[in-house]
Amino acid sequence: MIKTKRQIDSPSTLSDASERPSLYSWLVFALCFIFVENCFLNPIFKPLVFPVEDSSPDVTALIGGLLGVANQKNPVASAGGATAAPVLDTTPPVPGGSGIISASPSGTYSASTKAQVTLSWTAGTDNVTSQVNLTYQVYYSLSNNLTTLTNTLANGTPFSTAQAGLSGIAVNQLFANATYYFNVVLTDQAGNQSIYASQPSTMMPAVYIFDSVSNTQGNIGTRANADTLCANRMSAISATSYPWKNSCSVVNAFISLSPADTIWNIVKTVNAGVIILGSQGMILASDKVQLTSGTIQNTVRNAIPEYSSGSGWWSFSDFTGQFVSVDSCTNATSNSGAVSGRIGFPDITSSAWIDDAINGEGSPSGATCDIPRTVFCICH
């Protein structure tokens, strides 16, 4: 059928055609207005954000962006398909086994490890971090000040480094005959921390020999006088530098003063097998038998760093710890240059370490009693 001119030029047709450019113009104007308002007039500018996986933005994203609404995909989705906000982990992990730490001190001591203790605990748990990714850091102290997280971090000395999945460790380089306190800091991947329960442990027994730093002439006098030199030194030293200090039950001057008052009489009261150490934990002898056998494992100067005398130390003893009356500054009463007393030599491991009998056991050594020398002390 052939349309007439009137049908072709129908007003309705012309009206639709004429309105179409006008609608496009209004749409462009509206979008431009919104763009200008959001980009330049809106004080809180929200940039367009398009999904990374889309090759090109869709119209919804474009309009949403121009309206100042970020089109972001939330990484967390609920089971029903609706999105949820990411969860911020602020819950600390929970120590396992009610936070109990087991401590088992070693009965052996070596130059490389010193005293050591094996700690063990039950692994902790966390609401977000998997158990294998929880980390553990051991701390120790000479005081009972590791009872909270704050004071553990402030007062404790860390041993080794924080390790994941740890349930035990051997802590070494400790002083024998000293009490330590241990704790473990548990950390999740968000940095939340908690602690176990502080656990004290006393290391294996030991005897310590240290310097009184007194430097006195040969007229030392009585046992009470000599022991006072050591008591004064004990009062002056700190438990921080000498961790065994607080565990010393008896302190005597390490010197023989008469046939009935000898180094051996002091040493023989020590339990069998107890190690003999210098003031900073270096081994002098494996036990009292080796100490009085004529040979020690390290020199006095190395084992007792505070050694203060430039002329040896008074022992008045032979290498077995017995009194040498002929070489004793007349039973510790003389400070004469004409009288001598038996001394120990600090730089040797043979018997002269305690018995420098340069003229033989039955003769005066020539170490005159007028020269100030130090007196050693024994903590046992």
Q: What pLDDT sits at residue 25?
A: 58
Q: Token digits for 281?
A: 């934990």
Place of tokens 């240059």: 337
Q: What pLDDT sits at residue 360?
A: 87
d(CA 181, CA 151): 12
Do residues 95 and 166 touch, judged by C-beta distance below 8 A? no
Q: What pLDDT sits at residue 295?
A: 96
Q: Token digits for 199?
A: 């656990």
Q: What pLDDT sits at residue 6?
A: 43
pLDDT one-digit tens code per residue, 64-123: 444 444 334 344 445 555 556 667 999 999 999 999 999 999 999 999 999 999 999 999
For the chain, which ranges sit under pLDDT 50? 1-20, 28, 35-36, 38-77
- How many beta carbons lie within 10 A of that of residue 338, not counting itself? 8
Q: What pLDDT sits at residue 47?
A: 42
Do residues 237 and 231 touch, judged by C-beta distance below 8 A? no
d(CA 329, CA 337): 10
d(CA 96, CA 91): 15
d(CA 133, CA 261): 62
Q: What pLDDT sits at residue 80?
A: 56
Q: What pLDDT sits at residue 308?
A: 87
The three-class DSSP label of residue 206 is strand
d(CA 7, CA 5): 5
Q: Token digits for 124?
A: 């902790």
Do residues 341 and 367 touch, judged by C-beta distance below 8 A? yes
136's CB contacts (< 8 A; 6+ apart) are 121, 124, 162, 163, 164, 166, 167, 184, 185, 186, 187
d(CA 300, CA 304): 6
136 HSE (CA, 13 A, CB side) = 25
Percent share of the chain, pLDDT over 90: 74
d(CA 228, CA 221): 11
d(CA 180, CA 166): 21
d(CA 333, CA 335): 7
d(CA 146, CA 155): 7
DSSP state of 332: H
Domains and CATH numbers, the chain: 5-66 (no CATH), 97-202 (2.60.40.10), 206-379 (3.10.100.10)
Q: What pLDDT sits at residue 27?
A: 56
